[in-house]
Amino acid sequence: MSEPRFTRAARALHEAHERREPFRPLPPELAPRTSEAAYEIQDAFVALRAEKRGAIAGYKIALASPAMQRFVGVDRPQAGTMFESGLLRSPAVVRASDYLRLIVEFEIAVLLEEDLPAADAPFTRERVAMAVGAVMPAIELADDRQADYGELASHPFELIADNTWNEGAVLGYPVTDWKALDLAAVRGRASVNGSLVGEGNGGDAMGHPFNSVAWIADHLAAHSRGLLRGDVVITGSIITSKNMKPGDFVKYSIEGLGEVELRVD
């Protein structure tokens, strides 16, 4: 029996990553035509990457704002998977040479202390809050592989298939007394090499970080999976992404949640 189409697509993606090829749309005979087809490819692609990168440790939400969704040509956020080996603690150091083009995003990360099982869907912000153990700032690490962004709207599901370009995240110190904070209102500030490059509020992604977690939990539930105790969810960028180069030093702080640091060698 011939290999399923989504498996062949995942293998093509994995081989492109292994050969360090720039991002380009999949061939028409393999390209996903729906989001569900794209997630089938993503699951198979993640399984291939897990052979080297280890266990799944969390999830990310991409295109959390309507503006970013319009830019890519979709009408909803997209989910990606993070591996345990890709979750770093601040202060962290990465090498630019390990990426075709390293980009960073500035987010709020949530650590779960209870499961959010598929049987409990749909989820609300309040239900998510009951399962949250800690909150912290996070810098997402992504590799757009020198993508031509002008092509994305013509291939709106390719980003899903490629696991939304995630390569991990740098996490700050977990804050367990987060309940005293208005997480939609907290202010985040990012600097590169000492210069301020952007500011944003916690609510700039999906209105509240826990809305993003609820969206991820509902997405997983639709695929008969759940968020698990110990999973980390990064909840969407509140500041525009930045390209990194060797020698860059990034600092990102959030009121009440501390800061996270990244150096790029």
What's 83-140 look like in SS3?
Answer: EHHHEEECCEEECHHHCCCEEEEEEEEEEECCCECHHHCCCCHHHHHHHEEEEEEEEE
Residue 115 to residues 136, 138, 208, 225, Cα–Cα distance (Å): 19, 21, 20, 11
Supply the angle between the helices 35-53 and 5-18 in degrees, to the nearest 10: 50
What is the model's pLDDT at position 72? 78
| Residue 132 · residue 109 · CB < 8 Å | no
What is the model's pLDDT at position 10? 98
Would you kindly state where each structural domain of the chain is located, as residue ranges?
Answer: 55-264
| Residue 62 · residue 159 · CB < 8 Å | yes
Average pLDDT by stretches of 10, the chain with 265 residues: 88 97 95 96 97 96 83 87 98 98 97 98 97 98 94 90 97 97 98 97 95 98 97 95 97 98 98
DSSP conformation class of 199: E
d(CA 176, CA 172): 12
d(CA 111, CA 229): 8
What is the model's pLDDT at position 156? 86
| Residue 56 · residue 232 · CB < 8 Å | no
What is the model's pLDDT at position 66? 80
What is the model's pLDDT at position 68? 76
What is the model's pLDDT at position 45? 98
What is the model's pLDDT at position 151? 86
Is residue 224 left, alpha or beta, with left meaning phi > 0 and alpha meaning psi from -120 to 50?
A: left
N-to-C CA span, the chain: 47
CATH level 3 topology of 55-264:
Fumarylacetoacetate hydrolase; domain 2 (3.90.850)
